[in-house]
Amino acid sequence: MSKLITFIFCINLLQGEGAEDISFRYGFMGQLKSNPDSTVVLSDSSVIHTGDRVRINIGYIREYDFLLIFKDSQGEFEILYSAPTKMGAQSSEATKQDTFATALHWAPFRDPPGEESFYLINSKSPLSYLTKLLSRYESAPNKAKIKLAKKIQVELDALDPNAKAELSSIASRLDKPLVGGVTFRGDGDDELKDMSLTHECRGTGGIAFIKIVLNHK
């Protein structure tokens, strides 16, 4: 019995060590047409309207792949940000440093309304096939785009932890916003800047993945 308990303990310990093996930070900043002088935090299921603007900031380890993919209300795909894995026999100290980037600069939402979906993917392994599909999609004629869109969606669904039991990603709001990767200490804890990072996504299996859907009214 004691050997069995020890074995189970070791398995749990190993699982725990790899439970959160990759993470990134992000911030969806919004400027609403109804109040353009104020910046708000957008999250999954937030309601936005035509004319509202969004800015997306990301912070991740430069050594790993990062993709930000946008699927608009009409089902059209677009790569908003792409950073390939830094390949090599040994990673340099430079590639292991945190990288801050603005993946999308204050872009307005335009008609038609509907679901505006954003896929943020941070991966220790190259996302070569998905990137290749998106590249082909970009230059494909309309009929070919329909087929490629289905393949892209299949690949995205395969990375989604909600559809794959061995993967897990958890997103949570940071206690205090970061600005360009540095904790911001302003007059109030809720003060936001254009470059704020407000959330963190942690994933297992070498992938941190989150899908954020904004409801465009």
Closest to 197 in 3D by CA, of 23, 24, 21: 24
pLDDT in tens, 48-74: 999 999 999 999 998 899 999 999 999
Task: Tell me the average pLDDT across 150-174.
Answer: 87
With 0-12 CB in 10 A as exposed, 13-18 as middle and 19+ as buried, what is 103?
A: buried
Length of the chain: 217
Above pLDDT 90, what percent of the chain?
A: 65
| pTM for this model (two decimals) | 0.83
Average of pLDDT values for 154-182? 82
In the block, tokens 């299921």 appear at: 45
pLDDT score, position 56: 97
Q: What mean pLDDT value characterizes the chain?
A: 84
What token pair was written down for 173? Answer: 């709001």
Give pLDDT tens digits for 10-46: 434 334 444 458 999 999 999 999 998 889 999 999 9
